[in-house]
Amino acid sequence: MSLTTGRGPLAANPAGYFSAPLPSPLMYVEPFRRRVRGREAGRTLIDSDRVLLVHRQGQPPTYAFPAEDVPAEDVLAGKAEPEPAAVGYVRVPWDAVAEWYEEEERMFGHPRNPYHRVDCIRASRRLRVEVADAALVDTADTVGLYETALEPRLYVRRDQVQMGLLRPSTTTTYCPYKGTASYWTAVIGDIVVEDVAWSYDDPLPESLPIAGLLSFDGARAAVIHDLPPATHVR
């Protein structure tokens, strides 16, 4: 995210603009000063301290490795491809190995973007959430989550939510910046709205202020708030 996705400066629909046109396609390549390893079935197939991070429009960042750091193992045979943005480097599909590590921490989904930030800020923004004419939330005691290149979100404590109208869902998702989200389904009489809300019970460190709080999906419920509207500058 950040540079190349969402509303980032190199995304297809940036929030702002550059003072002069940029060439297209445009990639940004930088040294990534972390040890990166790719493991499969208990074996380390890739192990490099000379990694580049490549940012492409509309995509998460990808690793690029010196060709000599990617052995022609059977597992990797035919999977590594030359990286066009860096001579002598190759890229390896994320699913080519079972596990990726930066230093000793396992990565999920894609490499973390060093330009991606999550700020969780106490707020007095109003949030009202309705499903089938029932108010699940109506409060101004909120936490604003501001995540690079994404729309801001409001989170609320469970004591501000009509939890009796929600039940845990089996759905989970993973965010490389916030952690694993659990979902909640609204049940109002005979009306059931799946996955209307989510929460992070054990978030990653930068998102600890929203631990256990709920946020709501505006596509599945009527979510009314007083956050500033999205604007396009030019």
221 is written with which tokens? 């419920």
Q: Are 114 and 128 in contact (CB under 8 A)?
A: no
Handedness of CA 45, 50, 51, 52 (dihedral sign): negative
pLDDT at res. 234? 62
Q: Tokens 């978030």, residue? A: 203
Q: Are 155 and 174 in contact (CB under 8 A)?
A: no
From the CB of residue 139, how many other CB atoms can be counted at a distance below 10 Å? Answer: 17
pLDDT at res. 3? 80
Q: Collect all residues with Cβ–Cβ distance below 8 Å to 21 and sequence separation of at least 6.
A: none
| Biggest alpha carbon–alpha carbon distance for the chain | 62
From the CB of residue 195, how many other CB atoms can be counted at a distance below 10 Å? Answer: 17
CATH topology of domain 118-225: 2.170.150
3-class DSSP state for residue 200? strand
pLDDT in tens, the chain (234 residues): 478 877 888 887 888 888 998 888 889 999 999 999 999 999 999 999 999 999 998 888 999 999 999 987 777 888 999 999 999 999 999 999 999 999 999 999 899 889 889 999 999 999 999 999 999 999 999 999 999 878 899 999 999 999 999 999 999 999 989 999 999 999 999 999 999 999 999 999 999 999 999 999 999 999 999 998 876 656
pLDDT at res. 231? 65
pLDDT at res. 128? 98
Q: Where are the domains of the chain?
A: 27-107, 118-225
Q: Tokens 């604007």, residue? A: 231
Distance separating alpha carbons of residues 33 and 115, to the nearest angstrom:
14
57 is written with which tokens? 């429009």
